């Protein structure tokens, strides 16, 4: 094969994907925007953090490509055919409800007059939630080893150096994500208590307060969405528990902001955390759109799958514009999802 043609065909960044896999546009999913000096020391936690400079690079990346920035309401209207878009769209969403959405992201979006959504987990905003991925980081840097009971056996994980801390973090994450409602909370609280960590301190320090959420809800550029009460892995919950988590967060945010809450983001929206059962249970709470963390673009076929809209997330560990371009064109999603275009729960 001619080397040039070969490069064009094989290069995953190839624009050849764009006509077929870039779709109507892209929903971007972000969490924390924080300076490099404050980024986490654990790789998994860095994956939800990007710097303000890179965040602004993302906004300019889509502006240069003539994408129209739209809100979740406009996305819903565009998919339903009630809003005609004459170019591709980008829709920005943030999950959990971090304070940096208020202190940093809001100013940058305001500068460009770009709308965005913040999907808040209500117990984090109350300051009582377990922001356990950051608690674990504090715990692992506070001790030489972590001891805990699991199914009647005593376990001990070393956290004396960087690689053992990363391993311990992954082991504890797997355990926590596999526990149902009460067991999860008891496990995290016991672990924190035993190692001198306040399990709620990180939520109080890192997350928005209700006065911030109310102020943002009144900003015409900002949509406040729901992200459950306690941020559980839905696969560990019953249908009733899932519905309660979704419906309660919607009710609480509506009451606190005095505004309708019509959009929802699944806590842990990947293949291991939400599928058809979990989606159907949460959908009963009644939302216009529900977003996952499957990484793919939006197509007209999503009109029939408003409860499973994929989003592109850029990890702080691999934050480059060339990677973003491979998502935007659909090159990475095409390969990840077997060259399907309308990605839902697969
Ligand atoms: Zn989340």
Distance of CA 266 from the midpoint of ligand 1 (Å): 7
Residue (of 267, 256, 244) closest to 130 by Cα position? 267
Q: Cα dist. 188→25, 132, 248, 302 in Å?
A: 39, 7, 22, 37
Compute the distance from residue 74 Cα to the ligand 1 centre, in Å: 23
Average pLDDT over residues 32-41: 93
| Cβ contact 244:118 at 8 Å | no
Q: What is the pLDDT of residues 81-124, one digit of tens each?
A: 999 999 999 999 999 999 999 999 999 999 999 999 999 999 99
Q: How far is the CA of 13 from the centre of ligand 1 (A)?
A: 29
Measured in Å, residue 169 CA sits from the centre of ligand 1 at 17
153-158 and 145-150 as β-strands: parallel, antiparallel, unpaired?
antiparallel
pLDDT digits (tens, 9 = 90+) for 150-166: 888 999 999 999 999 99
Q: In this structure, are residues 30 and 344 in contact, taking their beta carbons and an 8 Å threshold? A: no
Least confident interval from 4-18, 22-36, 117-131, 218-232: 4-18
Distance 96 CA to ligand 1 centre (A): 5
CA 30 / ligand 1 centre spacing (Å): 10
- Count of residues in the chain: 346
3-state secondary structure of 158: strand
- Ligand 1 centroid to Cα of residue 129, in Å, is 12
Mean pLDDT value across the chain: 93
pLDDT band at 29 (very low <50, low <70, confident <90, very high): very high
Give dist(CA 343, CA 264) in Å, integer: 18
At 329, list the tokens.
């064109």
- 273 versus 257: the higher-pLDDT residue is 257
State the distance from the centre of ligand 1 to the C-alpha of 11, rounded, in angstroms.
33
Which among 134, 123, 131, 119 is positioned nearest to 41, based on CA atoms? 134
pLDDT of residue 6: 58
Task: Tell me the H-state helices in the chain.
Answer: 3-10, 18-21, 43-46, 52-64, 72-80, 99-100, 106-112, 122-126, 132-142, 162-177, 181-194, 201-206, 210-217, 239-257, 276-283, 321-328, 331-336
317 pLDDT exceeds 60?
yes
Q: Give me the phi and psi of 117, to 5 degrees please.
A: -120, 145
Proportion of the chain above pLDDT 70, given as a percent: 96
Task: Check pLDDT > 90 for residue 283.
Answer: yes
Q: Which pTM value belongs to this model? A: 0.94
Q: In the structure, what pLDDT confidence band is assigned to residue 236 with cuts at 50, 70 and 90?
A: very high
Report residue 2's pLDDT band, with 50, 70 and 90 as the boundaries: low
Q: Left if phi > 0, otherwise alpha if psi is -120 to 50, otherwise beta: which for 93? A: beta
Measured between alpha carbons, how far is 237 from 64 in angstroms, rounded to an integer? 43
Ligand 1 ion: nearby residues, β-carbon < 5 Å: 95-96, 267
User: Cα of 160 to ligand 1 centre, how many Å?
Assistant: 29
CA of 37 to the centre of ligand 1 (A): 23
User: What is the 268 CA–ligand 1 centroid distance (Å)?
Assistant: 6
Q: What share of the chain is helix, strand, coil (3-state, %, to 5)?
A: 50, 15, 35
Q: How far is the CA of 1 from the centre of ligand 1 (A)?
A: 46
């Amino acid at each position: 094969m001619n080397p040039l043609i070969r490069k064009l065909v094989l290069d995953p960044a190839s624009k050849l994907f764009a006509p077929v896999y870039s779709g109507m546009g892209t929903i971007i999913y972000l969490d924390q925007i924080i300076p490099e000096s404050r980024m986490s020391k654990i790789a998994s936690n860095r994956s939800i953090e990007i710097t303000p400079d890179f965040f602004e690079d993302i906004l300019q990346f889509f502006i240069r490509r003539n994408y129209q920035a739209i809100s979740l309401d406009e996305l819903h209207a565009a998919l339903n055919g009630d809003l005609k878009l004459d170019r591709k769209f980008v829709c920005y969403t943030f999950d959990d409800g971090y304070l940096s959405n208020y202190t940093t992201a809001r100013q940058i979006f305001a500068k460009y007059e770009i709308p965005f959504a913040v999907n808040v987990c209500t117990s984090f905003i109350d300051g009582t939630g377990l922001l356990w991925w950051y608690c674990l980081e504090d715990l692992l840097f506070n001790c030489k080893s972590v001891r805990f009971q699991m199914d009647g056996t005593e376990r001990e994980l070393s956290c004396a150096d960087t690689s053992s801390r990363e391993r311990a973090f992954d082991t504890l994450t797997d355990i926590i994500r596999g526990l149902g409602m009460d067991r999860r909370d008891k496990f995290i609280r016991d672990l924190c208590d035993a190692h001198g960590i306040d399990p709620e301190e990180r939520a109080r320090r890192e997350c928005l307060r209700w006065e911030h959420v109310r102020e943002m809800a009144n900003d015409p550029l900002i949509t406040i969405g729901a992200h459950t009460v306690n941020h559980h892995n839905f696969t560990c919950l019953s249908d009733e528990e899932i519905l309660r988590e979704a419906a309660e967060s919607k009710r609480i945010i509506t009451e606190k902001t005095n505004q309708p809450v019509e959009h929802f983001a699944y806590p842990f929206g990947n293949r291991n955390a939400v599928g058809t059962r979990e989606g159907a249970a949460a959908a009963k709470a009644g939302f216009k759109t529900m977003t996952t963390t499957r990484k793919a673009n939006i197509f007209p076929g999503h009109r029939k799958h408003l409860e499973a809209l994929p989003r592109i997330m850029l990890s702080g560990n691999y934050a480059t514009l060339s990677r973003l371009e491979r998502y935007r064109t659909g090159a990475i999603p095409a390969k990840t999802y077997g060259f399907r275009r309308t990605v839902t729960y697969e």
